[in-house]
Amino acid sequence: MPERHLLDILANTEYWTNFTRHFAPLSGSDSKLERAVERYILTVFAIGCNLGPNQAARHMSGLVSAHMLSWVNRRHITVEKLEAAQRDLIELYLQLDLPQVWGDGLTVAADGTQYDMYEENLLAGYHFRYRKTGAVAYRHVANNYIVNFGHFIPPGVWEAVYVIEGLMKSRSSIQAETVHSDTQGQSETVFAFTYLLAIKLMPRIRHWKGLKLYRADDRTHYDHIGTLFSGSIDWALIESHWQDLMQVVLSIQAGKISSALLLRKLGNESRKNRLYRVAREVGRVIRTIFLLDWISNLPLRRAVTETTNKIESYNGFAKWISFGGEGVIAENDPDEQQKRLHYNDLVAGAVILQNTVDITRILKQLEREGWTIRQEDLAFLNPYITRMLKRFGDYRLNLGRAPEPWSTETVLPRKGPHRAEQGVLPFLMEA
């Protein structure tokens, strides 16, 4: 793999996709920036790597000022424009051969990872799982390694409510049909609405023995596995409120209701909420079927684990790229916080695209040299390679320059012979 700097990768990606064409003044007028493309790329690098305008400008040798980086971010770039730029990268990525070997894009994994933030803002909070203050970046990563959706959510929110939201707002032309998650990404109501939206929810559930399985009715008994079941389905409830449930599902599909808002409201049990009760009953049916398949199907468990491992790898890969700012998102504005995540995903997407192109070129060279490349071997490759990436620039040690003179000036009152006069540093006195 050739050694590349992140800025060079962004420049290559711009040449291939022209993603900066989406960035322009918020007024809608044409950009009058001098060297606009260069400044857009520098802004994406500075904020996507979490350096920030001030720190980045100090290391750019006068190419751009901190004020200009901050001004471009605030006046020319929005969340929607960053999503459009990411969409360009994804569509070009899907045209390559290797992503088709890694996955069809019809399966995604959803998971959250914690980012540190300042305590005094609307998004941050204490997370009981990570045991620290911050916010959770919730992402959907396809089985071909590309991220389709990313969003900061408060740490107190059950992650499952954003499972559907991510699929509805996917930036890929390939719409996922199956979604994997961990225990946080499932509940009875989530199982119900994903099923009714023709989405197959297949989570990796920890301690599944604590979940209840339900019989079709009280008269049904099963040999050998009867102790797994602790209740039965109320089919009359589902039948009486089926039309109400379908109206809500159609509203979600049409974009009239936010699935995240709806699932958050249905997250707590409420005997008075008939929509919750019927959705819970449908979810019990679907989750019982899934759990029975899960405990008896080893290839299924392996497939779910394999896909969910990809998003764990992506989270570490994205944080490796976000190397500035000591790992803290130094923004209190909720909109700017969401932009930081999209910037980071944009830089990560550019690196994934470049790595895939480089791997493809190397494989073609190996074929010309007589190597036999098998498809099953390609499945072991992945585009999250970082060992040849340069993040910090070139630091040169020049021993040929004239040395700076030693300082003999003092800032404290003298109370006796100086240490140099006592022979502590005699070579300085000789010099």
Read off the pLDDT of residues 169-224 as tens digits, 9 standing for 90 and up: 777 778 888 888 887 778 888 898 889 988 899 988 877 777 888 998 888 888 88
Task: Measure the CA angle with vertex 315, ends 107 and 87; round to 5°.
Answer: 55
Cα angle: 210, vertex 215, 216; to 5 degrees: 145
pLDDT reported for residue 427? 43
pTM for the structure as a whole: 0.85
In whole angstroms, give the CA distance from residue 18 to residue 23: 10
Q: Is 60 exceeded by the pLDDT of residue 426? A: no
- The answer for residues whose C-beta is within 8 angstroms of residue 190's C-beta and 6 or more apart is 160, 161, 163, 164, 201, 263, 283
Local structure of 161: helix, strand or coil? helix
Instruction: Pick from 74-88, 256-270, 412-426 the range whose average pLDDT is largest.
Output: 74-88
Q: What is the pLDDT of residue 428?
A: 44
Give the distance from CA 146 to its chain's centroid: 10
Task: Give me the pLDDT at residue 91, please.
Answer: 92
Which residue carries 């209740």 as its tokens?
A: 231
Looking at the predicted structure, is the pLDDT value of residue 386 above 60? yes
Query: What is the rounded CA–CA span in Å between residue 399 and residue 339?
Result: 43
pLDDT at 267: 59
Contact present, 190 and 160 (Cβ < 8 Å): yes
Amino acid 353: pLDDT: 93
- pLDDT bucket at 404, cuts 50 / 70 / 90: low
Lowest mean pLDDT among 22-31, 65-74, 194-203: 22-31
Residue 2 has pLDDT above 50, yes or no: yes
Per the model's pLDDT, the better-predicted residue between 260 and 346 turns out to be: 346
Amino acid present at 139: R
* Cα distances (Å, whole numbers) of residue 63 to 34, 38, 71, 323, 360: 12, 9, 15, 21, 33
Contact (Cβ atoms closer than 8 angstroms) between residue 89 and residue 353: yes
For residue 410, pLDDT over 70 is answered with no
